[in-house]
Structure 1
């Protein structure tokens, strides 16, 4: 049974209000609001008194009321394509570590690589009057772009570095990373290099473009070397693709998989089939996911800075929310080719 005095509980709903906290602490409601927001102008003794009263009453601030009072909430909308990929989990953890000390919480949406679903999420989540937006990629449809622009909410795009001066972004060049891995395979003497892709999201297709560019320069490009599957990326699919590629094109001497989970599945398939990697066929991946360095042989891949991207994008967004200048509005954090024994 509650021990909170009836005199300090809301008669209308039974929910403890900011005014209830003010009465118990013996201060004004505006002082409670300022104290709980952490404003420096409030004396430490008053802050302690307000916090003690709030704790005793079990007071939880109403985010909707706070949003109406300040014209935006303490929430930041973060849209990612999926949660089954460790890449986006790492990114989200970095974003949260940056936002929470500044007093902001994530309001997350998963788009499933669907522009229509992304538009619906934006419509719904913008009703919460978020303080900012962090959105993966730049493939929004025209309606979503208008929603973002008309909302007036600061927005930073993740995972891609772009030259558009009207867009704030933090990422790296997916196409350049794909090209560098292809050059690595060419330098190792590989001439029949397949690009194997799943999911077929825009960033995967940018890596494909980089691979295609380098093979074309080397005079080795053939359309038949492109293996595309729209199914979600997985180790099982990687194993299936590996077997199918070698059966259809026995001359293949290297396979560049668009994701590490595909490449890990291919390495396991090669091990089961007795195919020697890299002696018979080199295998490369992308993203340097957990376990890639433990494969047999260890997987050559591209290490992407998803944690750093999350932290830097959150910092950029906080600067925009505070009205500060952003020195580098289009931040390219680069990538690193990690050469291991699979190539």
Structure 2
């Protein structure tokens, strides 16, 4: 059996091919397009690659081909619970392709966003996926000049530069508030965190629904330009109750904040659902809190999967769609709010 070479003697694609008595093209195809090689031969090649310690030279591949085989994924907060669902969708779709993923984090910083996009483009990527783009002028100019497919996961009120999937966050928030109004709540507060495009749109949707009902009141809003968290939800409920002592319900811009509100309400002895709480995103824990959290279901996995699928289809030669893809949303009534039209006295 051939021995693994030392690091000083780099194994080449030709070395692997020669050891197996096949062509370099066959080895390359087994690694990049495995479905085009028989299972038996593919397993032999992969075993030999592992045994010999062959590492593909992706930089050389990028020079010799249209792209380097990498999808660049830029997000404002890779560690947020909401984005993890999008990442799972991206990775599930990429798993069945010959592409790889490179993640980058903009930290809600427009300058960092531009810098990361420039870095992606300098590496000749197969494509770029952008989640939560801030839509600054410099960023849009970069995307228009990109030599690879770009798919944005956006709020659909924006005008995407190219292909896009997403939902209308303003309408989703307004629908949630209208649901709370139908449940009989009237002093409905808003609790929010980091100010980005999506949180701004949720804020806008809340305000529109309250204005339409004729009960808008600035004292019902408590927001902080800081990363959202359970702790922040606790703190903002305390602030909001000082501003509006007759508060009877809270709409939160995400489920992390809503859990903080729920914990603080329980600590204060507020009766739930007489005191109503609604979150946003329908994260995994929302249905299993006590009581289960009313929230807005956002198809985060589908966003990642559909955006990646769209990019892969365009790479394979399919025409790019001209219209954004609206994946919709759903208000999920649960135990932290009254049923509509059945509010107890």
Give the TM-score normalised by structure 2: 0.90
Q: Give the aligned CA root-mean-square deviation in angstroms.
A: 2.3
Deviation of 1:58 after TM superposition, in Å, equals: 1.8
Taking a change above 3 Å as real, the CA distance of residues 17 and 272 of structure 1, as seen in their structure-2 partners, is: same
From 76, 95, 100, the equivalent of 2:95 is 100
Contact 1:160 1:169 in 2 (8 A): no
Instruction: Measure, in 2, the Cα distance between the counterparts of 1:286 and 1:76.
Output: 29
Contact 1:267 1:295 in 2 (8 A): no
Structure 1: where are the runs of 5+ without partners?
none
Instruction: Measure, in 2, the Cα distance between the counterparts of 1:73 and 1:222.
Output: 53
* Residue aligning to 1:236: 231
* Residue aligning to 1:3: 3
Listed one character per residue, the Cα deviations across residues 112-164 of structure 1 (whole Å, up to 9, x for unaligned) are 11111111111222222110111013423222222222221101111433574
Instruction: Say if 2:189 is the partner of 1:198.
Output: no
Taking a change above 3 Å as real, the CA distance of residues 116 and 163 of structure 1, as seen in their structure-2 partners, is: closer
Instruction: For 1:269-284, list aligned pairs within 5 A.
Output: 269-279=264-274, 281-284=275-278
Where 2:251 maps in the other structure, the secondary structure is strand
Instruction: Measure, in 2, the Cα distance between the counterparts of 1:236 and 1:264.
Output: 9
Deviation of 1:103 after TM superposition, in Å, equals: 0.8
Listed one character per residue, the Cα deviations across residues 232-283 of structure 1 (whole Å, up to 9, x for unaligned) are 101111011111111221121211111111111111111111111222x211
Contact 2:74 2:130 in 1 (8 A): yes
Taking a change above 3 Å as real, the CA distance of residues 63 and 329 of structure 1, as seen in their structure-2 partners, is: farther
* Residue aligning to 2:284: 290
Instruction: Measure, in 1, the Cα distance between the counterparts of 2:280 and 2:236.
Output: 16
Structure 2: where are the runs of 5+ without partners?
338-345
Deviation of 1:62 after TM superposition, in Å, equals: 1.1
* Residue aligning to 2:122: 127
* Residue aligning to 1:311: 305
From 257, 266, 270, the equivalent of 1:262 is 257
* Residue aligning to 1:330: 324
Instruction: Say if 2:52 is the partner of 1:57.
Output: yes
Where 2:185 maps in the other structure, the secondary structure is coil
Contact 2:222 2:239 in 1 (8 A): no
Taking a change above 3 Å as real, the CA distance of residues 65 and 242 of structure 1, as seen in their structure-2 partners, is: same
Instruction: Measure, in 2, the Cα distance between the counterparts of 1:165 and 1:146.
Output: 12
Deviation of 1:4 after TM superposition, in Å, equals: 4.3
Deviation of 1:28 after TM superposition, in Å, equals: 3.8
Instruction: Say if 2:205 is the partner of 1:220.
Output: no
Contact 1:159 1:306 in 2 (8 A): no
Deviation of 1:328 after TM superposition, in Å, equals: 7.0
Taking a change above 3 Å as real, the CA distance of residues 252 and 72 of structure 1, as seen in their structure-2 partners, is: same
Instruction: Measure, in 2, the Cα distance between the counterparts of 1:54 and 1:267.
Output: 54
Aligned length: 336
Where 2:308 maps in the other structure, the secondary structure is helix
Contact 1:98 1:315 in 2 (8 A): yes
Instruction: Measure, in 1, the Cα distance between the counterparts of 2:80 and 2:36.
Output: 44
Listed one character per residue, the Cα deviations across residues 272-330 of structure 1 (whole Å, up to 9, x for unaligned) are 11111222x21111111222223233211101100111111111111111220245741
From 146, 149, 157, the equivalent of 1:154 is 149
Where 1:205 maps in the other structure, the secondary structure is helix
* Residue aligning to 2:315: 321
Deviation of 1:88 after TM superposition, in Å, equals: 0.8
Taking a change above 3 Å as real, the CA distance of residues 166 and 268 of structure 1, as seen in their structure-2 partners, is: closer
